[in-house]
Amino acid sequence: MQLMSGNEAIARGAWEAGATIGVAYPGTPSTETMESFATYEGVYAEWCTNEKVAVEVGIGASAAGARVLSTMKHVGVNVAADPLFTAAYTGVNGGYVILAADDPGMYSSQNEQDSHFYALSAHIPMLDPADAAEALSFTRDAYGLSEQFDVPFMIRSTVRVSHTKTPVEVQEPIGYEPKEYVKDAPKWVMMPAYAKPRRKVQLDRIAALEAWAEECPYNRVEMKGADIGVICCGAVYQHVVDALPDASVFKLGLTWPLPRKALADFAESVEQVFVVEEGSDYLTSLVSAQGIQLSEFPCTLPRDGELSPGLIKYAFGQAVPEHIDVPNDVPRRPPALCPGCPHRLVFKELSKIRAIVTGDIGCYTLGALPPLAAMDTCVDMGASVSMSHGFELALANREHKPVVAVIGDSTFGHSGLSSLITTVYNKGAGTVCILDNRTTAMTGRQGNPFNGVTLQNRESRELDLVGVVKALGVENVSLVDPHDAEAVREALKTATTTQADELSVIVFKAPCVLLHRQRKPHYFVNADCRSCGVCATLGCPAISKDAETGLASIDPALCIGCGQCAQYCKFSAIEQVADTSTNGGAR
Ligand SMILES: Cc1ncc(C[n+]2csc(CCOP(=O)(O)OP(=O)(O)O)c2C)c(N)n1
């Protein structure tokens, strides 16, 4: 027995089942799954540039006979959807399991999605573990099932399952022998002549899966009273049994296809039947559509965010334990770019020129928040570059502020490249800032093609970002140190004034402060401070202003000595101490 998170358990289950290849793109809450898988003996694991590529590599490896694991967050499934839907026609050779990790409540995502709908519309069977023990056993079993039904299997988790540790039973790997690859164009070449018969194969498979669903060992009925019956799955099951100890529960482990007959029998066996699900109406609509009369909740069950036992009790009209407010003296800690973050000055200078900034997803999305407040949009990975092209198109014949896209190095590799090619090809204008902090910082510092670090530290090839951008046909490309305020200012000025009618790319290159964690002697505010407040507009967590006097101070425990703030003090009131052993008279 071991204690594992759901993510670690999925990795373990894949390894026990003989998966030897792992291909993924990071994304919370899925990331640790591939990082954990990469540590097992005998496996090859890599970060791909994006989820679509990962699934295509996965289908290739499965076709060649290996058992494969792919992992991604829910929005990653959108990116991978194209190959995913057709993989449900080709089927597999070696078993293929794909983790879709959902984020109800949007702890670290730009939207809430329910990946069940992908299973439903792509006709890919989906298993929904409720804890790490199930995550392990479901994943382990999914490989054999994938080969038996000749289709990839999806595991769906949510933050609670992925990140909660529960005891798991581990086993030794089964000793899987990779399958032979045998050329079979009608199975693998999905052009109409072959895809049409594969569609028939798919329909037969759906019928076989539906029959299997009725007996599926991962669905479980827990009969208590005959008054209330609840249908649920995943982490929500844990909340339901906590909130409604007397209710009978149909716990779905297989959430597509649904066991229609078993659900109808369950509904018959109770007075009232409810579906409790998180941020979605997937189960509700499917269960209702099969003619089961669902009862109305006495009170509202939220349609957004994560559920909790309290919210479920409330929906059933039960007394909810009184919420005790924490004392109001806890200091607020809004998210902020780290002290010394190389992204900070780019946003400071963008806010000064009042550019329209199309943003993207990464640590730098924090540039949207006050005091920097220098971002106008953020939609999905890669959108900064394509949206800036859209802004330029719509504003072309009007007087407008400079349009600047801001994108990170990993996000540029993920999908910014194809956006930039569109702008180059159509002779678009605007400025693209690539914030190359030498890592994929937001999801925990994974490698990417522009830093050449690989998941298992294998030998690799670091792509030259400036060279790549030039090769794409961008003529105005510059490389700038983002810690040098003057250089950042000048580069943005040139791009948005003298080169305003052309496309220009500025690569701001300096490592993320969390990569090497080197601290230089810290800075302090001397007696020349005039309370102008400019240093505080940088949004550095180390800098604060006295509420009464307006005098600035720098917390020596937080300051890492980057010197960004000193460049903005007109009164030379920010100085660096000679060494870190004193606080230099810091306020
Ligand atoms: C389609 C998709 N896949 C994955 C993610 C998770 N994710 C958010 S930002 C990010 C990468 C950020 O790296 P980078 O662009 O280098 O910026 P940094 O955080 O280093 O500043 C990832 C993988 C996502 N939001 N959407």
Token pair, residue 278, equals 């998180």
Ligand 1 center from residue 438 Cα (angstroms): 13
CATH code of 54's domain: 3.40.50.970
Same domain, 147 and 11: yes
- φ, ψ dihedrals at 362, nearest 5°: 170, -175
Ligand 1 center from residue 51 Cα (angstroms): 12
Ligand 1 center from residue 407 Cα (angstroms): 10
Same domain, 244 and 192: no
Q: What is the pTM of this model?
A: 0.96
CATH code of 301's domain: 3.40.50.920
Asked whether 553 and 544 are in contact (CB, 8 A), the reply is yes
Q: So what's the pLDDT on residue 330? A: 76
The residue from 215, 242, 265 where one domain ends is 215
DSSP character at residue 11: H
Ligand 1 center from residue 444 Cα (angstroms): 10
Mutate to test the pocket of ligand 1, among 366, 442, 445, 448 (most ligand atoms within 8 A of CB): 442
- φ, ψ dihedrals at 480, nearest 5°: -130, 145
Same domain, 478 and 499: yes
In a domain, 501, yes or no: yes
Same domain, 209 and 232: no
Number of domains in the chain: 4
**What is the SS3 assignment for 18-32?**
CCCEEEECCCCCCHH
In a domain, 404, yes or no: yes
Same domain, 414 and 456: yes
First and final C-alpha spacing in the chain: 53
Query: Rounded to an integer, what distance in angstroms lies between the CA atom of residue 72 and that of residue 47?
Result: 11
Candidates 37, 10, 8; CA nearest to 23 is 37
In a domain, 183, yes or no: yes
- Atom of ligand 1 minimally distant from the CA of 365: 21
- Atom of ligand 1 minimally distant from the CA of 361: 9
Same domain, 225 and 77: no
Query: Rounded to an integer, what distance in angstroms lies between the CA atom of residue 139 and that of residue 144?
Result: 10
Q: So what's the pLDDT on residue 380? A: 98
Same domain, 22 and 75: yes
Same domain, 276 and 146: no
In a domain, 327, yes or no: no
Map tokens 């199309």 to a residue: 358
Ligand 1 center from residue 20 Cα (angstroms): 26
Ligand 1 center from residue 35 Cα (angstroms): 16
Same domain, 150 and 127: yes
The three-state secondary structure class of 165 is strand
The residue from 491, 516, 541 where one domain ends is 516
In a domain, 332, yes or no: no
In a domain, 329, yes or no: no
The residue from 516, 544, 562 where one domain ends is 516
Ligand 1 center from residue 412 Cα (angstroms): 9
Q: So what's the pLDDT on residue 585? A: 37
- Report which protein residue has its CA nearest ligand 1's atom 10: 362
- Atom of ligand 1 minimally distant from the CA of 343: 21
Same domain, 529 and 403: no
Query: Rounded to an integer, what distance in angstroms lies between the CA atom of residue 390 and that of residue 179?
Result: 48
Show the ligand 1 pocket: residues with CB < 6 angstroms.
Answer: 25-27, 73, 75-76, 79, 361-364, 381, 408-411, 435, 437, 439-443
Residues 6+ apart with CB under 8 A from 220: 250, 251, 253
Q: So what's the pLDDT on residue 322? A: 77
CATH code of 560's domain: 3.30.70.20
Q: CA of 220: how far to CAs of 171, 228, 254, in Å?
A: 23, 16, 10
Same domain, 396 and 261: no
- Atom of ligand 1 minimally distant from the CA of 436: 16
Candidates 441, 103, 155, 124; CA nearest to 280 is 103
**What is the SS3 assignment for 531-570?**
CCCCHHHHCCCCEEECCCCCCEEECCCCCCCCCCHHHHCC
Asked whether 483 and 541 are in contact (CB, 8 A), the reply is no
- Report which protein residue has its CA nearest ligand 1's atom 22: 27
Per-residue pLDDT of the chain in tens (587 residues, 90 and over written 9):
999 999 999 999 999 999 999 999 999 999 999 999 999 999 999 999 999 999 999 999 999 999 999 999 999 999 999 999 999 999 999 999 999 999 999 999 999 999 999 999 999 999 999 999 999 999 999 999 999 999 999 999 999 999 999 999 999 999 999 999 999 999 999 999 999 999 999 999 999 999 999 999 999 999 999 999 999 999 999 999 999 999 999 999 999 999 999 999 999 999 999 999 999 999 999 999 999 999 999 999 999 999 999 999 999 999 987 777 777 777 777 889 999 999 999 999 999 999 999 999 999 999 999 999 999 999 999 999 999 999 999 999 999 999 999 999 999 999 999 999 999 999 999 999 999 999 999 999 999 999 999 999 999 999 999 999 999 999 999 999 999 999 999 999 999 998 888 999 999 999 999 998 788 999 999 999 999 999 999 999 999 999 999 999 999 999 999 999 999 999 999 999 987 554 443 33
- Report which protein residue has its CA nearest ligand 1's atom 1: 76
Q: Would you state the torsion angle of the CA atoms of residues 474, 476, 477, 478, taken in this order, to the nearest 10 degrees?
A: 180
Same domain, 24 and 126: yes
DSSP character at residue 167: E
In a domain, 13, yes or no: yes
- Atom of ligand 1 minimally distant from the CA of 435: 21
Ligand 1 center from residue 410 Cα (angstroms): 7
- Report which protein residue has its CA nearest ligand 1's atom 12: 362
Query: Helix 6-16 to helix 132-149 angle, to the nearest 10 degrees?
Result: 40
DSSP character at residue 413: I
In a domain, 148, yes or no: yes
Token pair, residue 123, equals 């006709």
23: left (phi over 0), alpha (psi -120 to 50) or beta: beta
Structural domain for 538, as ranges = 523-576
Q: So what's the pLDDT on residue 470? A: 98
